Amino acid sequence: DDDDDGGGGPPSDEDEEFHFRQKITEVDPREEAEFDRELRALMQESLESRKVEQRARPTLNMTIPMNIFEGSLKDHHGRGGGEGDSGDETLDEEDGGNKEVRVKVLVKRGNKQQTKQMNIPQDCSLVRSTKQKEAAELEE
Amino acid sequence: EETGDDESYDQYGKGDFMEHACKYCGVQNPACVVRCNVPSCRKWFCNSRGNTSGSHIVNHLVRAKHKEVCLHKDSPLGETILECYNCGCRNVFLLGFISAKTESVVVLLCREPCLSVNALKDMNWDLSQWCPLIDDRCFLPWLVKVPSEQEQLRARQISAQQINKIEELWKTNPDATLEDLEKPGVDDEPQPVALKYEDAYQYQNVFAPLIKLEADYDKMMKESQSKDNVTVRWDIGLNKKRVAYFVFPKEDNELRLVPGDELRLRYSGDAAHPAWMSVGHVIKLTAQEEVALELRASQGAPVDVNHGFSVDFVWKSTSFDRMQSAMKTFAVDDTSVSGYIYHHLLGHEVEMQMIRNTMPRRFGAPGLPELNASQVFAVKSVLQKPISLIQGPPGTGKTVTSAAIVYHMAKQGQGQVLVCAPSNVAVDQLAEKISATGLKVVRLCAKSREAVSSPVEHLTLHYQVRHLDTSDKSELHKLQLLKDEQGELSSSDEKKYKALKRATEREIAQSADVICCTCVGAKDPRLANFRFRQVLIDESTQATEPECLIPLVLGAKQVILVGDHCQLGPVIMCKKAARAGLAQSLFERLVLLGVKPIRLQVQYRMHPSLSEFPSNSFYEGTLQNGVTINERQSSGIDFPWPMPNRPMFFYVQMGQEEISASGTSYLNRTEAANVEKIVTTFLRSGVVPHQIGVITPYEGQRAYIVNYMSRNGALRQQLYKEIEIASVDSFQGREKDYIILSCVRSNEHQGIGFLNDPRRLNVALTRARYGIVILGNPKVLSKQPLWNSLLTHYKEHECLVEGPLNNLKQSMVQFQKPKKIYN
Ligand SMILES: [Zn+2]
Ligand SMILES: [Zn+2]
Ligand SMILES: [Zn+2]
């Protein structure tokens, strides 16, 4: 039944041009304060509970598996398509200006390690330091 | 069986409620939502702040004290429960990202204890830049995207109070919805309609309960209409289907059968016949108020029996369901209408938008009469705007204007144009005019009305499917013949037949320039997946808002509402729903919101004397006459008009009103007797029955006049039977050469009920082309300001008369002071 879009012609969803006077939404300061209080309480409680629970320090299992780098090397040079080369790791976002960096997120599925690709803004503190260091190393 | 096929693909709006839509605001972009991972909760929330200080997901976690979440399977990381890479801790309030010192690798790590383990410092990780998952009361926007401004504007605008309330409710009832917060108690008055709505969810919250009330009332009333001891006359239709004729006596309440209604005919059985029942569709109502019912299955029908049948009304929820579904689509599907139309309909401030189209050189259309100046102006302005209102006072040619607009829209090549109206009669008229311009028109009728005769049968989809012009006899054609011959097909053939028919219907509908159907018909399963950017709704002031919404939510970017808010609005049976404002049309609300209707100003119906009062009282005197006195001269008709050049008079009646037998309506015997005299005088003077219309606001009086004339008419009975006698309301949109209006109400102390509505008076006064006679009691009517001015108008023109018809005299009856109107 969903074979097509009917006789309506090709539905091109060109950006609509219209201007909407957005009403200014004000957040009730009392509501905001109350919410903040609850949020902080929850943070606090979370931290406290961990301190109590985890008397023994956990054993670390944080080595970055080498195969990831190998994989990433393959990614960088093996696959064509021009993406992922350390030089073009910054991607231009459509809306311009806001450069992004491609990172690998390391996660565990059961006991297996996996990586997933993700873009994060270049100005995020998380990558800023890495980038700076990389740049510094390069200069050396 | 036939309806079974109907319903199988007649589902609620497409993909209405995505499971992963934010439970607060409805945003359903997979990149923007996360699921709360608490097993008893598992609700989805988005990462937008809306009107609150924290994002929706953070709001939920804090309010519900839930701490674990899972990403959507279509998000960049896939379906992933967020947890500490090292220890597996899932408390999102503790989690944050760290990155490796050299490579672009990041992991989630909990603040306590993993981040504070000293050994980690020696490894490849950079701990100094630990980046919390929840920052500024929002998830990291690069992990869970914040919905775009556009998405947020079209989402439900939920407040902090509502969030607190619903979170409270979820503690006892995890399945509660925001609608439950608004639900009125059984005895509460429903929430009234508003001028503006925050969002389409609020809109739905207001209208859905009103439609439900109306549906319940309609169901209750129709299902209580069972009749026993009905006498049946049997016949066979052209399509070989069995047709039962019988009189379904209606009490003088509001229920009126219309073609397409479904009735169940039952026979309880006797020595020679087993018990039997069948459902059928009303295909016509004869002038004698006999119902013709085409049976769906005629096997076993006791066709040699005529007496002792029972009839029940089969109530169908289809139209109400479609209204509800349209409101849902409007709220959850942001492609349902353009952003401009969405915000405009909700009363948000939107900057004027013009459509840049190349304008046609002339605004008329082939096959239509030349347009006058106000019609040309209407066509021209409508083509440039995304939303327009056209007000068409009586006889001003709104059908022709609408047809011209549709013609030009269709020529713009933006896809098929959808043309709707609440009533089938109006759709047929419009379809005919549009077809006259040479456009390819498909008129889509409800399946239940396919057997109902229509003046535009050749345009209907079912007719076009049957009369497909194929040189070689197609498979469908063969199967159709077989089905007609045998009445049914083998199940495999039936399957093949249905598939072929559906494909053919689709093909024909797709090749049309214009699709015409009722508003409710726009959601017909045969139009499933059709999209329409340009929609014109005629008679839109006679539709409720949710009804109007049905054709709009199929992708509308340009909407034209045609109607006249100075004539009668939609009929709402349930008083509670009417009080809450369901009777206000979308057209009217848009007028209140400041959209200026374009008014057609030249009327081609009424004798100039007849249009004078309506023009001054209802249209600020702007109505011009497109017909001359000469063109409306009743030549050769010898009728005792008191002023020969003014074919109108108010005939003073002093007879008492009575409550009708049913106790719910009124009648007036003196007025009925005088109606008969006037009708007889017209007939004797050479007027033929179909030129005359008798109208009255009360069903009790309507039934009484029908009865009275057929018994006491001075001429041949048949002549009176051919005269249409109807309520004011059912005469809207139509005309007659001569109109006789019986007002009925005549009492010292009570009000004048129905007559109080100025829009009803407007309709009553504007049906006649050549002449009008009004029968009523000036003493009673003059209390109401508008009637007072009508009476004064007649008196000033020496048209307020009394006495026998052959010796009418100016009446000196004293008017009462009109009561002040308080607004
Ligand atoms: Zn939860
Ligand atoms: Zn949300
Ligand atoms: Zn941890």
Beta-sheet strands, E only, within B167-236: 227-230, 232-236
Report the candidate in B183, B156, B186, B181 with the shortest Cα–Cα distance to residue B170: B181
B78 touches chain A (CB under 8 A): yes
> Can you say whether residue B475 is alpha, beta or left, with left for phi > 0 and alpha for psi between -120 and 50 degrees?
alpha
Question: Which pLDDT belongs to residue B432?
Answer: 96
pLDDT tens, position by position, B768-781? 999 999 999 998 89
DSSP type of residue A25 = P
Domain assignment present for residue A2? The answer is: no
* CA atoms within 13 Å, Cβ hemisphere of B134: 29
Compute the distance between CA of residue B785 and CA of residue B788 in angstroms, rounded to an integer: 5
Fold match, B337-601 / B603-810: yes
Q: Is the ipTM of this complex over 0.90?
A: no
Cβ–Cβ contacts within 10 Å for residue B64, how many? 17
Residue in A closest to B76 by C-alpha: A118
* Residue A71 and residue A126 in one domain: yes
User: Which token pair is B246?
Assistant: 């019988």
Tell me how long chain B is.
823
The DSSP call for residue B31 is G
What does the DSSP 8-state code read for residue B397?
-
Domains identified in chain A, total number = 2
Domain assignment present for A131: yes
CA distance A115 to A66: 12
CA distance B88 to chain A (A): 9
Alpha carbon B326 to its chain centroid, in Å, reads 11
Distance set, CA A109 to CA A117, B145, B432 (Å): 15, 23, 66
- Give yes or no: residues A82 and A135 share one domain: yes
What residues have CB less than 8 Å from A106, skipping those under 6 apart?
Answer: A64, A68, A113, A114, A115, B85, B105, B106, B107
Long-range residue pairs from B790-793, CB within 8 A, at least 24 positions apart, any chain: B790/B613, B790/B617, B790/B650, B790/B761, B790/B765, B791/B650, B791/B815, B793/B612, B793/B613
Question: Is B489 an interface residue toward A (CB < 8 Å)?
Answer: no
Residues A31 and A73 in one domain: no
> Residue B224 has which token pair?
């209580």
Token pair, residue B32, equals: 């923007």
Q: What range does the domain containing A80 cover? A: 66-139
Query: Per-residue confidence at A5, pLDDT binned at 50, 70, 90?
Result: very low
**CA distances (Å), origin B495, targets B241, B465, B501:** 21, 17, 10
A79 and A49, same domain (yes or no)? no
CA B387 to chain centre: 18
Q: Give rounded-to-5 percent helix, strand, coil for chain B.
A: 35, 20, 45
| A19 inside domain | no
CB of B390 closer than 8 Å to CB of B601: no
Residues 6+ apart with CB under 8 A from B786: B617, B758, B761
Amino acid (1-letter code) at residue B561: L
- One domain for residues A89 and A134: yes
Residue A129 within a domain = yes
Predicted local distance difference test score (pLDDT) of residue A67: 59
How many angstroms does the Cα of residue B86 sit away from the middle of ligand 3?
5
Tell me the C-alpha distance between A110 and B95, whole Å: 19
A78 plus A35 within the same structural domain: no
Last residue of a domain, one of A32, A55, A78: A55
H/E segment holding residue B451: none
> How far is Cα B391 from Cα B368, in angstroms, rounded to an integer?
20
Q: How many CB atoms lie within 10 A of CB B748?
A: 7
Q: So where are chain B's domains? A: 30-82+133-181, 232-307, 337-601, 603-810
Query: What is the rounded distance in angstroms from the CA atom of residue B754 to the CA atom of residue B359?
Result: 46
* Max CA pair span of chain A: 68
Query: B652 - beta bridge partners?
Result: B776
pLDDT at A59: 67
- Among 2.102.10.10, 3.30.2130.30, 3.40.630.30, 3.40.50.300, name the CATH number for the domain at B603-810: 3.40.50.300
What pLDDT does A1 receive?
A: 35
- Which chain B residues have a beta carbon less than 8 Å from that of A5? 529-531
- pLDDT tops 90 at residue A116: no
Chain B CB contacts of A22 under 8 Å are: 149, 153
Structure tokens at B9: 């693909």
| Cα→Cα distances B397→B292, B568, B605, B816, Å | 34, 18, 9, 38
Tell which of B104, B122, B535 to mutate to test the A interface (max A CBs under 10 Å): B104
pLDDT at A73: 39
CB-based neighbours (< 5 A) of ligand 3, an ion = B 84, 86-87, 89, 110, 114
AA letter at B346: L
CB burial of B632-658 (b: ≥16 within 10 Å; e: otherwise) equals bebeebebebbeeebbbbbbbbebebb
Q: How far apart are CA B511 and CA B461, in angstroms?
A: 11
pLDDT beneath 50: ranges in chain B? 1-15, 252-253, 822-823
What residues of chain B, 55 to 74, have a C-beta less than 8 Å from chain A?
Answer: 58-59, 61-63, 65, 67
A32 assigned to some structural domain = yes
| Cis amide prior to A58 (ω within 30 degrees) | no
Q: Quick one: closest CA in A to B150, which residue?
A: A20
Å from CA of A86 to ligand 1 middle: 40
The CATH code that applies to domain B337-601 is 3.40.50.300
Do A72 and A48 belong to one domain? no
* CA B49 from centroid of its chain's CA atoms: 36
Distance from residue B554's CA to the centre of ligand 2 (Å): 25
The reported pLDDT for the residue numbered A95 is 46
Q: Is B549:B323 a contact under the CB 8 Å cutoff?
A: yes
H/E segment holding residue B18: none
Radius of gyration for chain B, computed over Cα atoms and rounded to the nearest angstrom: 32
pLDDT higher than threshold 50 for residue A86: no
The number of the ligand nearest the C-alpha atom of B86 reads 3
Token code pair at residue B359: 């304008």
Residue B702 φ then ψ, to 5°: -60, -50
- Cα dist from B104 to A81, A122, A131, B266, B741, whole Å: 20, 12, 9, 79, 86
Whether the predicted pLDDT of A60 surpasses 70: no
Q: Rounding to the nearest 10 degrees, give the CA dihedral for residues B476, B478, B480, B483.
A: -130
Strands (E), B604-751: 624-625, 648-652, 658-659, 666-667, 692-696, 724-727, 736-742
CATH of domain B232-307: 2.40.30.230
